[in-house]
Amino acid sequence: MKTLARVAAISLPVLLLAACGGRVDLSEFDDPDASLDGAVGGGGGGGIIDGGGGGGGGGGGGGGGGGGTTDAGGGGGGTDAGGGGWTDAGGGGTTDSGIITIDGGGPTDTGSGVKDTGVKDTGVIVTDSGSSIDAACDKIAAATCTATFESCCKSNGFTWDSLGCSDVSHLWCDSGADGVAAGKTFFNPSFVDACAKGWASATNMCTPHLFDWVKAQAPCSAMFNGKVAPGGACSVSTDCLAGLGQTAFCDESSKRCRAVSVVGAGQACNYFGATIRWCDRGLTCSVSPSGMSSCIKATPIGGSCYGPDDTACGLGFVCNAGRCAAGAATGTTCTRDMECASWSCELGKCGDLRVQLASKALCGGA
């Protein structure tokens, strides 16, 4: 059974910067026609996120504990590449989980597995590759490499070098600037402050929840934006087009663009293919008999559920003996995804939904 938990566990590392990490094979999960046939929600760890990654920068790129990464950050702020296009479906934006509220509206396609090939424009587009980009990169590096993040690095056993951290943070911006110079990427300066705020908030938390991380990176994806819609061929992540509230990346295995977002109540949810939309915490993805999907309130602890693979309890919880209960903690021995709070069991251990930003690369530039 191909569950969202495993898709999420794979998807996180590919949001991070390849220059400072390894690779991960997404090919077995690259199925845009798959339906919601099992668990839905994000998952981490367990051999997928192996703590060996690293990185820096903003957008889709960045530091973290991912075992596999892409070679650049996500895009954002670009023009509509055709196709579907995003409009506000009345569901509102994603909820604020402590980092930054991103109102991405709701997608126009509402079914599981429905391919979305267009995005909503994200604002003013400029192509200046000079001092404005340099200033943006400096601001993001300063927001990332703070005294608080130094403490995070040291508490995780990494040597701290502020200049090295800044150098690694600039790598993503360099990739974006190269894309702008080549005419493949747009630069939108109106998102610089929000991107810097997202990085500051994420590094202050040290190990942000996956959903918080995606939300924090969305304005960075809106700062640098490629021209290739989700599903199109790409070389680096700054080739890829992201809609408002999305983080875009170039899938390392398929070399196709993907976009990830966290959506709120009433919005369509989809966990496979080129455009992935996770339901925020406290929600779960419900699929109607007609195949339409939407995020609804999860069943609370103690509420009725219908078996070990029922996802009605929401991410972090499982169905145990017909009642919703807390899932097993990170590192607990497991045999199935749906035993774990993360809905991800890899190599016999429950994975983690928190992103480990501290790494040898981002902490010390090595």
What is the per-residue pLDDT for 365?
A: 66
Count of Cβ atoms closer than 10 Å to residue 233 Cβ? 11
- Per-domain boundaries in the chain: 4-297+352-364
The Cα–Cα gap between 258 and 88 comes to 21
Instruction: Classify each residue of 90-106 as buried b or exposed e, where b means 16 or more C-beta atoms within 10 Å of its C-beta.
Output: ebbbbbebebbebebbb
Q: Which helix (H) or strand (E) holds 174?
A: helix 162-181
The pLDDT tens digits of the residues spanning 32-49 come to 333 333 333 333 333 222
Q: Which two tokens stand for residue 151?
A: 């403490």
What is the per-residue pLDDT for 30?
A: 36
pLDDT along the chain (366 residues), means of 10: 35 34 30 34 31 37 36 36 34 35 35 39 45 92 96 96 94 89 94 96 95 93 93 91 92 92 95 89 92 95 94 93 95 95 93 92 83
What is the per-residue pLDDT for 5?
A: 36
What is the per-residue pLDDT for 366?
A: 62
What is the per-residue pLDDT for 284?
A: 94
Q: Which two tokens stand for residue 196?
A: 């810097």
**Burial bucket for residue 282 (CB in 10 Å: 0-12, 13-18, 19+):** middle
Which residue, 271, 206, 186, 258, is CA-closest to 14? 258
What is the per-residue pLDDT for 352?
A: 92
CA distances from 308 to 161, 281, 282 (A): 47, 20, 19
What is the per-residue pLDDT for 353?
A: 87
What is the per-residue pLDDT for 265?
A: 97
